[in-house]
Structure 1
Amino acid sequence: MIEPLPPGRARLIGPYQLLGLLGAGGMGEVYLARPAGARDAFAGLVALKTVRPDLDLDDGFRIRFRREIDAAGAVRSPYTAALVGGDASGRLPWLATEYVPGPSLAEAVTRGGPMPEQVVRELGADLARALADMHAVRVLHRDLKPGNVLLGADGAKVIDFGIAQAFDATQLTRTGVVVGSPGYISPEHVNGSQSLVPASDVFCLGAVLAFAATGRGPFDDSDMAAVIFRIAQGEAELSGVPPQLRAVIEECLRSDAEARPSPRQLVDMLLPGDRAGVAATGPFRWTESIRGLLATHAAGARAVAEAEVPSAAAPPAPFHTPDRGGPAALAPTPVVPVAVPGDGRGNKGLWIGLTAAAVAVCVVLGAVLLPGLFSRDGGGNDNAGGTGGGAANPTASASDAARTKAGPAVIPGADAGHTGDFGAAAADVSTKPLGWKAWKAKIADGPVECVLADTSLVCGGPKRITVLDAANGRQRWQTPPGKAGTGPASVAAVIGTTVYAFEGRALVARGLADGAEKWREPLPDSTGVADSVQSGGVLYYATKATGTGGVRILAHELTGKHALKWDKPWDDPAAEVELALADGRLVAVGDGVTVFKSANGARLGGIGAGDITCRTPVLKGKELLCSGSNGLTVVDVTAPQNRRTIADGVDVAYRPAVSRDGKVLVSSRLRVYAFGLADGRQYWATYDGGEGLETAGGLAVAGDNAVVVDGYGMTALAVASVGEAEDVGTGLPSEWPDTPDGPLDPSSITLVARGDAVFLTFDDGTVISVYAP
């Protein structure tokens, strides 16, 4: 989606006024822009690609950039984003193309799942026509992948000729260096880009169609070197592709380039009969999910354009491309209204395409160099990282996870009722911190657990509270380290503009903005805090005496006079206590279960010690979900004798998650399952393929997906799957901490999801923030 312009960014590049940031990569940035001085808010919207201002550009780079302009300008096709103009000789080289308010194919499939076969066929025909038009003017794309296909209301457009090369151009890459994107490159790419031919683009198109039909690439593998090997050996995985479409894709993926169909032949194969030679007109028959994404992108462009309405009636600056010999042959883009998809006005002459900032991936002698692989923009920040919450205990309630007049939104590890973890906001890109880019940070002194409060990550660790900027990972403030023996610091809650934390043996209130201390309440001597949960401005926490092991449950008002509301003993013999809160009931879980009335601490009942196994408890309304080695025991805390078992036979290894539609997601150490909370019905499970092929780990719900964090990365599964779980995205971030002794323990990784970004914390104090899978 479109983000505000970064602070200090010039508002003009060439003849264009910048309106918002579309994307950024390791070397470049892409902006939504329009001709400077245009009288109409929507006149001539373009995607303007430029380089980062801090780069030292040599003549070789400018030559390559000029060739990119030439390649893009040579192609004239309704199925590609047309070049509007460019300048490779200025202080900041730039290239402007038509703008389409729509998602990339990668985003559409990740968010909406695989496409129906007929949609894939019509999409593929449009992409094949695009290749035919490119090849007709002797231009190869060389990096056709899901991220370089944009979906508009009237169909798809191919974008980003960043590594396109004319058939007879001088070789731009070193011997042995291949440019392309792993998983979507041809065997010729692997053998060296000097051997690329038009059929190489057809091979890439076949891989793209497999992704559109199944949600995964035909050569996907957790080991990038294995991806290259599978491509070279022709080992495509196409089991999920419909049979007739699979036959077409197999022709595209033939190892012998000469045996592949031409783009024109491919159109006939995808749309046999009279329809093959006739391009469709009017709105494209996208799925409902994609139409929703189109509307969202169009609305975002409209909002940005209206916010930057020109205030002067000055004529536009002259349009020229100095490196192409004076005035451009192309006139400025005509006025193009940002129409809402599906209103019947769309056609290929009116919808214009978004240029993404794709970063070339180099494969050197079989070794894949993938800096920032998990970042969609490929750009990572050396000062980057993320926050956690999926496996952590809740630190704020669902009622606090909303913006109020008093202060920021608070997104904890999970809401107090565990009724959907991060909700719809986790999939709404407009809710992530402004200016966010993937990042990594390191907080000294070991593991931390963090809360996302608007644009701040508030993290507690063994010695202090640290607050990071959620957009870039930079430290905003940090408390002094605690004295030896005073115990760790942990975030109890964030309400409005105040952070409440346990620091040593005191409950302390600090300003969110600067960490200034507002008040401090000492805890009883020789006690430590075992667990806490907060709701409605009241903090409920359990203290444990270091000598006797005695536990007390307390309720403390955080606002107003911040007075103690009640204090009750807890006589359960368990070594640990976990708290959960819902519907006015505070539940303490140890060897048994005790239910308190949250208003005054009165006991409402419970289950005796040893009568039930209840590890990683989750409270959903009045139902307590207790994990065990033989499934989940569901207990009605208002009538504890009423119990039932779901997920029978599953050894539940991680805390369950409950989706908004009432599915309970559980994970063993081998598989993830979804059951109905009300009826116990099994809806789906991940593939059970033996050691090394399973998907399992810590769970969280983000929008309509279940995010599974295992020891090597993340996987997103569609909650609405039926039968075998539908994998809608996998992330293996290059910034993942080193694992010399094997995979990380998933239970040690915490996760928070917000607006297509995830924040994760690790045992060594590493914090990373990356795009959601």
Structure 2
Amino acid sequence: MIEPLPAGPLRHIGPYRLLGLLGAGGMGEVYLARQSGAPEGRLVALKTVRVDLDLDDGFRTRFRREIDTAGAVRSAYTATLVGGDASGRQPWLATEYVPGPSLAEAVTRGGPLTEPVVRAMGADLARALADMHAVRVLHRDLKPGNVLLGPDGPKVIDFGIAQAFDATQLTRTGVVVGSPGYISPEHVNGSRALVPASDVFCLGAVLAFAASGRGPFDDSDMAAVIFRIAQGEAELSGVPAQLRELIAQCLHARPEDRPTPGELAGLLLHGQPPTSSFPWTGGVREQLAGYEQAARDCLAAAPPTAVVPPVPDRPPTPVPLSGAVPGRGRRRRALPVTLAAVAVTACLLLGYVLWPGLFPPDMGPGGGSGATGPTAGPSPAAARSTVRAIPRADGGRTGDFGEAATDSSVRPAGWKAWKSTVDGVEGGCSFAESTLLCAGSKGVTALDASDGIRRWQAPKGRAGATGSAVAGFASGTVYAFVGQALVAYRITDGRELWRSALPDGAVGAGAVQDGDTLYYVARAKGGGTGKLIARRLTGDRGELWSRYFADPRFSLLADDGRLVVVGNDTRIIDGAKGTVEQRLTATDFRCRGPVLRGRRLVCRGATGLLVMDDVTRPGQTRTLAEEITPAHPPALVGDDTVVVSDNDHAYAYGLTDGQRKWTTYENLSELGGEPSLAGSQVLMAGRTGVGAFGLADGESANVKSYTGWPDAGPGVPDLLAVGDLVFLTFKDGTVLSGYAP
């Protein structure tokens, strides 16, 4: 039923933690899984595609369309789509999981079902077809293996996966689509001949199998099966007499002579009132209990969600098996311990087809601006044009790359994994509007983020080295310190739009952006004195204010209209006026590696973390994680979690209660980079690759080494996470882009 996963690091795909293997085929595997960090969450059946397959853009487009269409079918009698991703390194699709056998397995193990059960089951399956047809979707491959028997009735499963896998064949006229023995005469004539009544024919064959234990067109010779279907030679002698005539109507050669799904449901039930629970036979109930127990065993065998060291001493949290079965409209079944209600199991791959004319050319469900359903939202082009990412992620340098980190819609169009080189690059590159902007001793270089090809380099035609650093962004514009000036370049082609000389031949440093305001220090090259400046990046680009500045080592952070300067002391400054609101000496608050979110400031201490919960009330400070020595700036997650690493492990702490939430299993000495947040994962780049750990539990999802990983010396690359991708910048100028782990 469910195979345990092999020993090794716990695996995650998308937001899901894998618990067991339901089955495998040539194209991928189906796993029992649950959302990472959600111990009370529902179980899902997670269909994955093998990572070693050559998945071209056509496949991904079709797979995405299948996910969208599956999400459009909302029925109590079909598998409900939970989520999916066609664009990631490993495409996946998740549906709710139900513990129960397929109709094929149930009949093979226990024999034909009784007439009352066949009638009740057939009525539910007819309702499933009616719900599909209501949104103009055909199933195309209804068969015993694609019907799961759940605690509260049957469920039709698997929407679109087979078509995504085999689309080059499934859309070709004259090719048989479906499963031999359970296809209609229209199937034999090619997929374009299919109509709603084609699904009714398939359902009739399924009911004949349930009632007699064999399909109406069974034959050892494939050609004979096709011939019998085309000629209408159904064998129904094993079907009870009261059902035989009704099933024969479903199997009529002429589609117009078959009952509609609604009519069929009424004929099957004879007007009987609904029952409080589904009338499964004792044999089926026995199999259902076995499936529930297998899921419990799988959960019980799963490793704990975290390793909690002795400090603090907290008991482990049990992992229960829970979740209510959704109602089915006409009945509801309560279970002592239940799983969620809809399943996908291995090798049950079926297809459907959209009715002709439903969508304009090249527009599937969810493909236009008027899309609805679970995947509707801004167009990818609009999303890509607004996303920006810089090293340490934001003005507060929190390390959290936000929603765009895992949103594949913001991925550069036509992206493929790539490797490039930027001479003289210093620090990490920044991302804006599908462009990677890298600065250093040779000026600013813009790479196309989709393929790594150089778009432009600035300044042009100037001899000698020109020190530069990316400072900030406005719409369509990147601002950079180049030599002794702040310069604005058009992102698309590098055209210089605006220039402002820095005072007294100074160079710019420490820039941080909050909204349309840029804060930076202009100081003599190699010196410690200069000016702290606030400047608008929109409108007249004028200075808001400037003030004398004398700190050789400093960090600027900005959030919520407030600037925090951490150096010899810590100053909280009104971002609009430049007035110092609060000032703390190093004796009061010795801060290193600061991060800021809203009013909360978190710093590395000599040991542990220093926390100022409200920078407007600087006297209220505290220490947490005193048992560790942080090696890098921490990363802030929302309002209540901080992730920090030393040279061996990464840790998560609650900011409100100071309690440790988890510690990574692995020794991270080969990673050693600072933690960054990308959706539900913590990413750390190191000498050997990029490691990913579950944000909720610290479990290792993957450690990914990319082709061409350079030998760049003792340092680790700077990391950006955008669009479910990572962009890595090495000290030798190598820049890599690949899927996030």
TM superposition score normalised by structure 2: 0.53
How has the CA–CA distance of structure 1 residues 680 and 434 changed in structure 2, closer, same or farther, with 3 Å as cutoff? same
Q: Are 1:114 and 2:12 an aligned pair?
A: no
Give the gaps of 5 or more residues in structure 2.
3-8, 33-43, 55-101, 114-143, 177-186, 200-339, 353-379
**Amino acid of the structure 1 residue aligned with 2:559:** A
1:174 is matched with which residue? none
1:246 is matched with which residue? none
Q: Please give the secondary structure, in 2, of the residue aligned with 1:425.
A: helix
The CA deviation at 1:641 is 1.7
Give the gaps of 5 or more residues in structure 1.
1-78, 80-105, 131-140, 142-146, 164-266, 286-290, 306-314, 321-328, 354-401
Q: Are 1:602 and 2:579 an aligned pair?
A: yes
Q: Please give the secondary structure, in 2, of the residue aligned with 1:502.
A: strand
The CA deviation at 1:497 is 0.7
CA displacement, residues 606-638 of structure 1 (integer Å, 9 cap, x when unaligned): 112454332211012112111123011112321
2:76 is matched with which residue? none
Q: Distance in 1 between matches of 2:674 and 2:693?
A: 13
Q: Please give the secondary structure, in 2, of the residue aligned with 1:115.
A: strand
* Matched-pair contact (CA < 8 Å) for 2:28–2:47: no
The CA deviation at 1:454 is 2.2
Q: Please give the secondary structure, in 2, of the residue aligned with 1:499.
A: strand
1:149 is matched with which residue? 29
Match of 2:534 among 550, 555, 558: 555
1:669 is matched with which residue? 647
1:500 is matched with which residue? 479
Q: Please give the secondary structure, in 2, of the residue aligned with 1:665.
A: strand
Q: Are 1:712 and 2:688 an aligned pair?
A: yes
* Matched-pair contact (CA < 8 Å) for 2:507–2:522: yes
TM superposition score normalised by structure 1: 0.51
* Matched-pair contact (CA < 8 Å) for 2:479–2:486: yes
Match of 2:521 among 542, 547, 550: 542
Q: Please give the secondary structure, in 1, of the residue aligned with 2:147.
A: coil
Q: Are 1:630 and 2:607 an aligned pair?
A: yes
* Matched-pair contact (CA < 8 Å) for 1:489–1:501: yes
Match of 2:553 among 571, 576, 580: 576
Q: Distance in 1 between matches of 2:382 and 2:489?
A: 19
**Amino acid of the structure 2 residue aligned with 1:772:** A
Q: Distance in 1 between matches of 2:631 and 2:461?
A: 34
How has the CA–CA distance of structure 1 residues 549 and 346 changed in structure 2, closer, same or farther, with 3 Å as cutoff? closer
Q: Please give the secondary structure, in 1, of the residue aligned with 2:413.
A: coil
**Amino acid of the structure 2 residue aligned with 1:436:** W
CA displacement, residues 701-721 of structure 1 (integer Å, 9 cap, x when unaligned): 000110011221111111110
1:766 is matched with which residue? 734
Q: Are 1:745 and 2:731 an aligned pair?
A: no
How has the CA–CA distance of structure 1 residues 555 and 577 changed in structure 2, closer, same or farther, with 3 Å as cutoff? same
1:646 is matched with which residue? 624
Q: Are 1:726 and 2:702 an aligned pair?
A: no
2:597 is matched with which residue? 620
Q: Please give the secondary structure, in 1, of the residue aligned with 2:546.
A: strand
2:203 is matched with which residue? none
The CA deviation at 1:319 is 5.5
Q: Distance in 2 between matches of 1:765 and 1:489?
A: 15
Q: Distance in 2 between matches of 1:683 and 1:284?
A: 39
Q: Are 1:282 and 2:147 an aligned pair?
A: yes
Q: Distance in 1 between matches of 2:477 and 2:513?
A: 14
Q: Distance in 2 between matches of 1:161 and 1:531?
A: 43
**Amino acid of the structure 2 residue aligned with 1:608:** T
How has the CA–CA distance of structure 1 residues 156 and 423 changed in structure 2, closer, same or farther, with 3 Å as cutoff? closer
Q: How many residues align?
A: 450
2:285 is matched with which residue? none
The CA deviation at 1:524 is 1.1
Q: Please give the secondary structure, in 2, of the residue aligned with 1:737.
A: coil
2:468 is matched with which residue? 489
Q: Please give the secondary structure, in 2, of the residue aligned with 1:467.
A: strand
How has the CA–CA distance of structure 1 residues 403 and 542 changed in structure 2, closer, same or farther, with 3 Å as cutoff? farther
**Amino acid of the structure 2 residue aligned with 1:623:** R
The CA deviation at 1:449 is 2.7
Q: Distance in 2 between matches of 1:284 and 1:527?
A: 74
1:409 is matched with which residue? 387
Q: Are 1:682 and 2:660 an aligned pair?
A: yes
**Amino acid of the structure 2 residue aligned with 1:734:** T
* Matched-pair contact (CA < 8 Å) for 1:622–1:638: yes
Match of 1:589 among 566, 579, 586: 566
The CA deviation at 1:318 is 5.8
Q: Please give the secondary structure, in 2, of the residue aligned with 1:525.
A: helix
* Matched-pair contact (CA < 8 Å) for 2:680–2:695: yes
How has the CA–CA distance of structure 1 residues 333 and 745 changed in structure 2, closer, same or farther, with 3 Å as cutoff? farther
Q: Distance in 2 between matches of 1:534 and 1:160?
A: 39
Pairing 1:160-199 to 2, within 5 Å after superposition: none
Q: Please give the secondary structure, in 2, of the residue aligned with 1:561.
A: coil
How has the CA–CA distance of structure 1 residues 611 and 479 changed in structure 2, closer, same or farther, with 3 Å as cutoff? same
The CA deviation at 1:597 is 0.4
How has the CA–CA distance of structure 1 residues 522 and 107 changed in structure 2, closer, same or farther, with 3 Å as cutoff? farther
Q: Are 1:443 and 2:422 an aligned pair?
A: yes
After TM superposition, the structure 1 stretch with the greater mean CA deviation from structure 2, 622-631 or 700-709, is 622-631
Q: Distance in 2 between matches of 1:556 and 1:157?
A: 49
CA displacement, residues 343-390 of structure 1 (integer Å, 9 cap, x when unaligned): 97989776249xxxxxxxxxxxxxxxxxxxxxxxxxxxxxxxxxxxxx
Give the number of the structure whose alpha-carbon radius of gyration is greater.
2
How has the CA–CA distance of structure 1 residues 154 and 554 changed in structure 2, closer, same or farther, with 3 Å as cutoff? closer
**Amino acid of the structure 2 residue aligned with 1:351:** L
The CA deviation at 1:567 is 0.5
Q: Distance in 1 between matches of 2:695 and 2:384?
A: 34
Q: Distance in 2 between matches of 1:107 and 1:509?
A: 47
After TM superposition, the structure 1 stretch with the greater mean CA deviation from structure 2, 527-536 or 541-550, is 541-550
* Matched-pair contact (CA < 8 Å) for 1:448–1:765: no
* Matched-pair contact (CA < 8 Å) for 1:486–1:505: no
Q: Distance in 1 between matches of 2:456 and 2:527?
A: 37
How has the CA–CA distance of structure 1 residues 277 and 489 changed in structure 2, closer, same or farther, with 3 Å as cutoff? farther
Alignment RMSD (CA, Å): 4.5
The CA deviation at 1:684 is 0.6
Match of 2:432 among 424, 428, 453: 453
The CA deviation at 1:670 is 1.2
Q: Distance in 2 between matches of 1:493 and 1:544?
A: 18
CA displacement, residues 43-77 of structure 1 (integer Å, 9 cap, x when unaligned): xxxxxxxxxxxxxxxxxxxxxxxxxxxxxxxxxxx
* Matched-pair contact (CA < 8 Å) for 1:530–1:577: no
How has the CA–CA distance of structure 1 residues 629 and 547 changed in structure 2, closer, same or farther, with 3 Å as cutoff? closer
* Matched-pair contact (CA < 8 Å) for 2:441–2:465: no
Q: Distance in 2 between matches of 1:445 and 1:718?
A: 35
Q: Distance in 1 between matches of 2:483 and 2:503?
A: 11
